[in-house]
Every structure is written in C-alpha cells, then in structure tokens.
A and B are shown apart, each in its own frame.
Chain A
Amino acid sequence: MSTPKAPIEPMEGLCFRTRGLTKTYGKGAAEVQALRGVDLELPDGELVVVLGASGSGKSTFLNIIGGLDKATSGEVFFRGRDIGHASRQELTQYRRRNVGFVFQFYNLMPSLTAWENVALVTEIADNPLTPDAALEMVGLKERQSHFPAQMSGGEQQRVAIARAIAKQPSVLLCDEPTGALDSATGTRVLEALKTVNDTLNATTLIITHNAGVAAMADRVVIFADGAVREVKINTNPKNPKDITW
C-alpha cells in the first residue's frame, strides 16, 4: 500500500486484523449501532465464510475492510497497514490495487460486453490477468462478446467475479454473491470463487445466508449483534459441488 502512516504492526501472515471496531449510523434517536467492537484476525490466502442473522453487521464489516466505508472507532489493519485512518483518495488506491468486490447485484456496466467489463478493470490495474484469462477462470470465455442484457443472472455474476479477480487482488470480498441465484447456478458461482482462491491465493470472504456454504471454508466467522460471536476453523474444506444447500 502506498500510504502507511501508522507504525507497521507485526502481523506475520495476517491479511486483516481489527481491534474494537465499531460503526454507528445516524444520530440521536435514529442511532443504529451496526458494529459494537469487532476483534478479528484473518490469515492470508484463506477462504472465509461469514454467517450471521440479517442486520448482524456482516456487510458493514465487509465494507469497512474493503475500504468502502469508515469505522466510527477501532482499528483496521491490512497486512500491517492502518487503513482505518486512510483518506478517501488512499482508500480509492487501496481498492484499486488490492480489493475485488462481488455483490448480490452484479453491477455490470450494461453498455459493455463481458470482455469489456473485465477490460475496464485490467486497464487500470498494475499487474492484471488478461480479460480472456479472467473469463476463462469463471468458465465464460465463449460468452465474452455478450452484453449483460443477453446473459443469465449466474452468468452476469460470474462476469462480476471475473472482473473482480482480473486485477489479481490480494482480497476478494463477496457480499451474498449467490443471494439472487438458484442453487445450481449458485454452485457454479461458488466453484468459480473456489478456483480463484486456489489459483490466485487471494484471501476470500464470502458473506452468505446459507449455512451449508460454510463447509467449503477454511474458516467460518459468525456475526451476531454487531460482533463476532464465534470463529470456527475447518481443517477439511469440501468442494462446492459436494455441498448441500
């Protein structure tokens, strides 16, 4: 990262580390405590599944570690660098270089083809895959010249994944990536994420409502009431194909 201001903490092999992270939305009577002190350490390269009831703060947490939003208090470190106190411009650079996002809504550019949607990112990245390679990885090479309107939801989501990984990000953050998909399509998407995690060794966080997905994770983080209630280590992650939804 370009702008380390705070002293670098010794966190050998750690991708993210948070301490007492809180987030409060609104003021006065409308105040909502989305995060109430999250302490978490996530090692590099793992596939992490995040579970928790709706409203428990999963998305808020993901957005903060992804540099989309800022915490109200507490510390966030990415590979030893303080991103909790970074400026907006520094966060933009952080996202551009290190983070790939996948959301429930695919957010593709409707005016660009699959290939062009991926090229959008590779053109501004430092060390990108080619758009063809990225599409290949999610199994969509043959659909590269289709527009979003010509593709199914699952295909659009896989283009979104290809776009997220094309820059070879250090972290891949997925907020309910299968939320809008049926289970067969969802499985294809999870397989794509698994492949990416294996091939690129990007630390991958997947928020999901589906507890079954936890079986493919190296680590499972369970949120409740704005805090981490439990972290489970999975020594024998399953292949997405073998997961029951």
Chain B
Amino acid sequence: MVGGGGLLSWLSVLDRKLWRDLWGMKTQALAIAFVIAGGVSVQLLSTGMLNSLQETRRAYYERYLLADIWAPVVRAPQALLSDIRGLDGVQAAETRIRAGALFDMPGMSEPASGEILSLPDIGLPSVNQLYLTRGRTPEVDRSDEVVVLESFATAHELQIGDTVAATIHGRRARLVIVGIGLSPEHVYTIAPGEIVPDDRLFGVMWMGRQALARAVDQDGAFNEAVVRLSHGASQAAVIAELDLLFEPFGAPGAYGRDEQISDVFVSSEIDQLRTMGNVLPPIFLLVAAFLVNIVISRLIAVQRAGIGLLKAFGYRDDEVGWHYMKLVAVIGLAGLLIGGGLGIWLGREMAIMYTQYYRFPFLVFNADPRTYAIVIAVTAAAILGGAAMAVRRAASLNPADAMTQPPPPDYSKAAGMGITRWHRIDQQTRMILRQIIRWPVRAALTVAGVAASGALLIGTMFFIDSMSVMMDGFFNVSNRYDVSVSFVQPRSRAAYHSIERMPGVLAAEPFRAASARLRHGNLEERAALIGSPPDPQLSRMVDAQYRTVSPPPGGLVLSQDLAIKLDVEAGDMLEIHIAEGRRPVLHVAVSAVTTTLIGSGAQMRIGDLNALLGEGDVVSGAYLIVDPDQVDTLYNALKSVPLVAGTGLQALAAQNLDDLMQQNLGTAIWIYTGFAGLIALGVIYNSVRISFAERQRELASLRVLGFTVADVSYILLGEVAFLTLLALPVGAAAGTGMAWYLAQAMSSELFRLPFVISLSTFGLAGALLIGITIGSSLLVRHQIQRLDMVAVLKTGE
C-alpha cells in the first residue's frame, strides 16, 4: 500500500484503502448499518409520528374550537348560558342537548346505538364546530335533518339523502341525512363502556337544536354545556365554578379534556409513542456503538503495521484518526439512509393505520427538520463515540512500536490459573474459557447486546400475553354476558322482567348505575356507581386470582385505579355524592379493592344502592346470556322496545378487539421482532466474525495439527454459544424488567396491562436467539472450511 508521491496522491490512496477495507468487511458493516437503521427508524417513526399527531391534533382542535370543559347536567334552563359566559376564565361557551339513540340499520340485525348532539339553529357554534366533508347542516325548519359522523356513514355506506330509522328517547323517528362530517370531539369514537371501537355499532349524529329539544323534552333547556377557556385560565377553577352553578340542576360534574373519551384515547396513543421513542432507540444506538467499537478496534489491530508506516511517512495523528472516522462515517451514513427510508415508510404506513381509528380531517406522517437533525445528531454521537475510543488508540500508536510484531497476547495474568486446575475439561474448552476471561469487557458487552435483543423480544411479545390475559379477564371472568341492555332512565323491576322474558334470553342479571363523585379527603373522582345482585354471575369484579369479589351488605368494592387515585384502602370510608335524582350524599365503607384491567369500577349491592338513592326498586339495565340460535330474533325485539337506550354486544367487542390486536399489535410485533433479530444478528455475527479474524492463525494451526473442521468450529462457535447461553437468563431478566416497565408506562386511564409473561414467550425469544446464533455460526463456518492453512501459517501475523 506504499506508493510514492505527494500528499494528494497519498490521500487518494488512503481513500482507496478505505473502500477496500469497507468491501472486505461488507457483511459486518451492513450488519452494523442495519442495527443503526433500527434505532434511526424507530426514533424517526416515534418522534415523527408523535409530532404529526400532536401538531395535527393541536391544529384541528384550534381550528374547530374543541371545548376545554364539558359540563353535563340533567336539565338546566337556557337562561343559564349568560351566567356561564360571564364566568371568570370562560372565553366561549355553548349549551346543547345530547341524547342517546338507537339506530335501526338496514341489513344489520344487531341494534346500533349512538348519540345525537344538537347544533345551534342559526350560525356556527362557538365551541365544537363540525368539519363537514359533504352536504350541509340541518335547516331550522326541518326537524328530521341530520349530519352523520363520517365513520358511521362509511360503515353503512350512507349517502346524502338516505334515511335512517332511529329511536330517540323511546320515540321512533325517520332521519334524513343532509351532511356527513367529522368532529374534534369524535377523533376516536367509542360507545360508552366499550373497550374497542366499532364503526358499525356506534354512530353519532347532529340535529337542529329545536328539533332535538322537542324530541327529548328539553325545550328551553339544555343538558350539556361546553366551554372554551381563555388563555391562561385555570381549568380547575372554571370546573369548580360550573359545578357550583349547575348544582341545583343535577350535575354529575364537569370534566376537562383529560376525561373526554376521544381525547383520552388520542393522548394515550401519544404517550405510548413517546414511551416507545424513549425506550427503543437508546438500546439500538448503544448496541451500534458497541459494534462499531469492536469492529474498528479489530480493523486497527489488523492494520497496526500499516498505521505505523503511515506515521513513519509523516502522517499526523489526526489524519490517521480521521481516516478511520471516515470509515465509521460511511457505515453510519448507510445506517442513517436505510433507517431514514425505513422510518419514513413505516411512518406513512402507521399514519394510514391511525386514520382507521383516529379520524382527523387529514393525518400525514411528517417529521420536521428538527426531528431529522436530532436523529442524525444522536446517531452520530453514538457511533462516533463508539469509534472514538478505538480510533484514539490508532492515532496515538507509536510508529516504531506499531511496525514491530506484537507479542502473543499474555494470558498469564488474566486467565486465572484456576482453570488450569480443572483437569476434566479438554484444551479446546479451556481455550474458550480463557478467551472469555481474558477479554471480559467484550464478553460482557456481547452478552449485554444479545440480552438486549432478548429483552426487546420479550418486551414485545409480552403485549400479546398481557392483552390475552386482559381480554380473558374482561370477557371470560368479569363480563360474562353476551348482551348488555341499558334503559333510557331507571325503570321498575317489571321493565327488567320484560327483557328477561324476551326470546333467546337464557339468563339475565339486573344492574343499577348512577353517576357519582367519590370523595376521600380532598381527593375527588367521577365514577359510575354500579349496583349488582348479591352474588353477581354475569358482571363481576374479581381479584388478582380471578376470584369474584362481591360487595357485602352496606359495603362498596372499588377498583384499584380508583383506590389509588383516591388514596383509600379496604376499610376506609368514602363520601359519595350521587349526581342524579335527589342527589344524596352517602358515606360508605370500602370493603375490598380489586384489580380491574379495563376501565374502572365501584360496585355495591343493588338493594343497598336503591335504598340509599330512595327511588324504589329500580334497575338501569340488564346483562343477558343469549341463545346463539336466537340472537337475531332478540336483536329485532330489542330494537322495537322504546325503553332501551343502548346495547352492548360482547361477542362483537371481543371479535373487534381480537381484530385490532391481530392487525395493529400483530404488525408492531413483527416489526419489533425484526428489529430485535437485527440486533441479535448484528451482535452475534460480528462477534463470531471478529473472533474468527483474531483467531484465524490459531484455527489454522489446529487444522495443521489434524483437528477437523468440526473440532475447530467448536472452539470458535463454542465461545459464542457459551455467551449466548449466558445471555439467555440475562435477557430473560432484562425482558422481565422491560415488560414490567412497559406494563406501567403503557397503562392508562383506559386499561391497565397486567404484568404477565408466558413461558412460551420466554421459550420463543430463547429459540429465536439460539436460531440466530446458529445462523451466524453457519455463515462463519463456511469460512472455517475455506481457511487456507498454508497462507496463514507462512506469515508471522
């Protein structure tokens, strides 16, 4: 590689050397580039998607004036509006009517439920505007005109001019579709009490104010106020003022966006993206830094003499250093390009997937220049950091030392003579052990890298385990009914019995629900208080061991999330402010706290609840077990009962949740499993390659001595196999920790991920790592076979 000439020609020779070096280690370089690409793409994906979602949400809410506060009330006079607008901190306010409804959709036996919201008869609302995609808003004098939420319209192929049969407040009506639109209140649309959205089963419509008021007997009144806050106003203060103002009219309590169901879902998605962006890229980049470090260290060790020569010819330290840094930069650049392309592609796919669940007028994956800058900076810092240590050693090599042959590596001190005393093991095994003990840091980092991959695999597959436990708990243990029916208002036992006697109903269980505010000290939470039979069978609260926890006479069972928020334990007294009827204030002892994975709950005996509420023996609805052969008959019967306000269909919910998991979680798991595989492959393949390069001479000597390819492979691959085996328990432990962290970080108001990892997850992760180890070994074994003994032994390294 020495040629005459001036500095310029030297530089070009050096650059040619750089390309030759790169070509010589192309598989290793590619493996590293892919690990970098993994980190880059996840970071780009999560940060970019996060930005896109946040920015789109901000712009949408801003432009279409999403409320900051929702204040439901049973029935308040319209005159109160000026008082609301006069409150401190209120920038804009509207009153409106919100009513539950059933929709009888042609070609669908299941009853669809939903809600109808009022629009001002004149002009646009100053809070919560619609984004009309087609058509117009209802005319003042047409009481049957509605705008339909686009997702519902799409699910039923509804067009402008179509009519829909609806039951509003127990009365049948034919509604004419005049417009189709989106609303910032309904980015994520889900029926109350449901855990998965179903566009077919839950619809939202908008009607003129007067028309809806007449339909639900709210003339001159309203049952919900929506408020936008002025800049810098305190949400808590305005909520307190509103609650005070609405007190006489029966208000369950005003709430902010943090409890508005659509935004809660959007926020939880944003939080999950943030968690993903915080957890994953550092793992990738640390592994990439480690790989760059060992690969460049090795290259420099091989090229010692060449480096000495360069220096002897007058190259400065920084020029030599820069040469190697350039090589690292090329690998890093490749990683950035692959990862960038992958990240943008995944981002676009993810945005498309999101638009199926999150209905924004538009949602495009859009990473801003700052995101790119951060991704590039972080990646560069990681890999250049990894290379810097190795390169500094090359730059500071003394040319005279560099050109003498390095002495054989000294094992006498580090190798622990302990191993010498183990007479049972053969010499090949001894070599493996000594190699590991001699370079403990590298061995530890290899173990760490493989373990990180294992952790990532377990942390990913944990979601399947956790979700299936969650689903099993929800559908098979807690909520074992097929259909839930809720009444427009609490009804007498007779109404319940009429449902119980419907065709196809095999079993029924009544429930009473009342919205309430739970208070403990100065902590307060809104919750639905549920009254159940003494020994509930169809809707139960259960403890961590899935044992039914039924409330004792006079007692209350509380879900853990509420217990934590209210800081109560079993035995504590709760103050319960019922927000309905006579609005009594109750003092009830918490008899038990249960783990509730989805949603939250507060349950007592229906008799106790009714006694406290003083409205007689009434029920709010029923849970039913249905004969599968008679579902359609039952659905049709339910559609024609005026007292039914809504129905929930468990089988469809379970199916939807399953689809959702298959589709979204399935995709995500494939992607992360791929990434984890890349990390494992990058670490294991590079370890084997470097071991091979370093020990080529030893291996060739062994071949000369008459060792077979298999014998020699054992020495080389035994080391990696041993390290992989060490990494398995470490990875299992780290994966368990990661799953535990994710269970905390990914849990939200909406659901809590149970911390469970199945044996098959551990098994699968282990099998994948072992598979990758075997694959990497086969790649290198082929090179052992081709090892040129004569060529290696002729040279003195």
Residues of B within 8 A of A147 (CB): 410-412, 415
Output the nearest chain A residue to B436 by Cβ-Cβ distance: A111
Residues of A within 8 A of B408 (CB): 108, 110, 148-149
Residues of A within 8 A of B703 (CB): 92
**Residues of A in contact, count (CB < 8 Å):** 38
Contacting pair B411 A149 (CB below 8 A): yes
5 A-B pairs with the lowest CB-CB distances in the bound complex, closest first: A96-B706, A149-B410, A111-B434, A107-B701, A110-B408
With A105-B796, A109-B701 already in contact, the answer to whether A119 and B427 are too (CB < 8 A) is: yes
The yes or no answer to B420 lying at the interface (CB within 8 A) is yes
Given the complex of chains A and B, what is the CA–CA distance between A147 and B437 in angstroms?
15
CB<8 Å pairs between A and B, sample of 27: A59-B794, A68-B789, A89-B708, A92-B707, A92-B708, A92-B709, A96-B707, A105-B793, A107-B704, A109-B427, A110-B698, A111-B415, A111-B430, A111-B431, A112-B411, A112-B427, A116-B427, A117-B427, A119-B427, A120-B702, A120-B705, A121-B705, A123-B426, A123-B427, A124-B706, A147-B410, A180-B796
Given the complex of chains A and B, what is the CA–CA distance between A127 and B407 in angstroms?
34
Output the nearest chain A residue to B703 by Cβ-Cβ distance: A92
Contacting pair A110 B704 (CB below 8 A): no
8 additional A-B residue pairs with CB within 8 Å, beyond A123-B426, A147-B412 = A92-B706, A101-B704, A105-B797, A107-B793, A112-B430, A116-B427, A146-B412, A149-B411
Residues of A within 8 A of B126 (CB): none
Output the nearest chain A residue to B711 by Cβ-Cβ distance: A124
Given the complex of chains A and B, what is the CA–CA distance between A101 and B706 in angstroms?
10
Task: Map CB proximity to B onto A89-113 as digits: 1 under 8 Å, 0 otherwise.
Answer: 1001101110101011101111111
Residues of A within 8 A of B262 (CB): none
Residues of A within 8 A of B705 (CB): 95-96, 101, 120-121, 163
Residues of A within 8 A of B407 (CB): 149
Given the complex of chains A and B, what is the CA–CA distance between A219 and B718 in angstroms?
45
The yes or no answer to B697 lying at the interface (CB within 8 A) is yes
The yes or no answer to A69 lying at the interface (CB within 8 A) is yes
B719 to chain A, nearest CB (A): 11
The yes or no answer to B24 lying at the interface (CB within 8 A) is no
Task: Map CB proximity to B onto A121-133 as digits: 1 under 8 Å, 0 otherwise.
Answer: 1011000000000
Output the nearest chain A residue to B701 by Cβ-Cβ distance: A107
Of A105, A145, A146, the most chain B CB neighbours within 10 A belong to A105
Given the complex of chains A and B, what is the CA–CA distance between A89 and B796 in angstroms?
27
Q: Which residues 659-710 in B have Cβ within 8 Å of A in the complex? A: 697-698, 700-709
Contacting pair B704 A116 (CB below 8 A): no
Residues of A within 8 A of B434 (CB): 111-112
The yes or no answer to B438 lying at the interface (CB within 8 A) is yes
The yes or no answer to A183 lying at the interface (CB within 8 A) is no
Residues of A within 8 A of B415 (CB): 111, 147
Contacting pair B420 A113 (CB below 8 A): yes
Contacting pair A150 B412 (CB below 8 A): yes
The yes or no answer to B409 lying at the interface (CB within 8 A) is yes
Output the nearest chain A residue to B700 by Cβ-Cβ distance: A107
Contacting pair A109 B431 (CB below 8 A): yes
Residues of A within 8 A of B7 (CB): none
Given the complex of chains A and B, what is the CA–CA distance between A220 and B708 in angstroms?
33
The yes or no answer to A210 lying at the interface (CB within 8 A) is no
Pair count A-B, CB < 8 A: 95
With A109-B701, A111-B438 already in contact, the answer to whether A145 and B706 are too (CB < 8 A) is: no
Residues of B within 8 A of A109 (CB): 427, 431, 698, 701
The yes or no answer to B790 lying at the interface (CB within 8 A) is yes
Residues of B within 8 A of A167 (CB): 706
With A68-B704, A147-B412, A147-B415 already in contact, the answer to whether A107 and B430 are too (CB < 8 A) is: no
Q: Which residues 770-797 in B have Cβ within 8 Å of A in the complex? A: 789-790, 793-797
The yes or no answer to B468 lying at the interface (CB within 8 A) is no
Contacting pair B411 A120 (CB below 8 A): no
The yes or no answer to A201 lying at the interface (CB within 8 A) is no
Residues of B within 8 A of A59 (CB): 794
Output the nearest chain B residue to A150 by Cβ-Cβ distance: B412
Of A104, A107, A116, A167, the most chain B CB neighbours within 10 A belong to A107
Residues of B within 8 A of A96 (CB): 705-707
A121 to chain B, nearest CB (A): 6
Given the complex of chains A and B, what is the CA–CA distance between A227 and B697 in angstroms?
30
The yes or no answer to B435 lying at the interface (CB within 8 A) is yes
Q: Which residues 709-758 in B have Cβ within 8 Å of A in the complex? A: 709, 711
Contacting pair A111 B704 (CB below 8 A): no
* Partner of B706 from A63, A99, A111 at Cβ < 8 Å: A99
Contacting pair B706 A110 (CB below 8 A): no
Q: Which residues 146-197 in A have Cβ within 8 Å of B in the complex? A: 146-150, 163, 167, 180
Given the complex of chains A and B, what is the CA–CA distance between A141 and B707 in angstroms?
25
Residues of A within 8 A of B706 (CB): 92-93, 95-97, 99, 121, 124, 167
B424 to chain A, nearest CB (A): 12
Given the complex of chains A and B, what is the CA–CA distance between A103 and B711 in angstroms?
22
Residues of A within 8 A of B420 (CB): 113, 116, 145
A151 to chain B, nearest CB (A): 9
Output the nearest chain B residue to A98 by Cβ-Cβ distance: B706
Output the nearest chain A residue to B435 by Cβ-Cβ distance: A111
Task: Map CB proximity to A onto B421-432 as digits: 1 under 8 Å, 0 otherwise.
Answer: 000001110110
Contacting pair A111 B411 (CB below 8 A): yes
Task: Map CB proximity to B onto A47-69 as digits: 1 under 8 Å, 0 otherwise.
Answer: 00000000000010001000011
Output the nearest chain A residue to B795 by Cβ-Cβ distance: A105
Given the complex of chains A and B, what is the CA–CA distance between A98 and B721 in angstroms?
32
Contacting pair B704 A124 (CB below 8 A): no
Of A109, A124, A163, the most chain B CB neighbours within 10 A belong to A109
A21 to chain B, nearest CB (A): 16
Residues of B within 8 A of A117 (CB): 427
Given the complex of chains A and B, what is the CA–CA distance between A96 and B795 in angstroms?
23
Contacting pair B701 A116 (CB below 8 A): no
Q: Which residues 147-180 in B have Cβ within 8 Å of A in the complex? A: none
B423 to chain A, nearest CB (A): 10
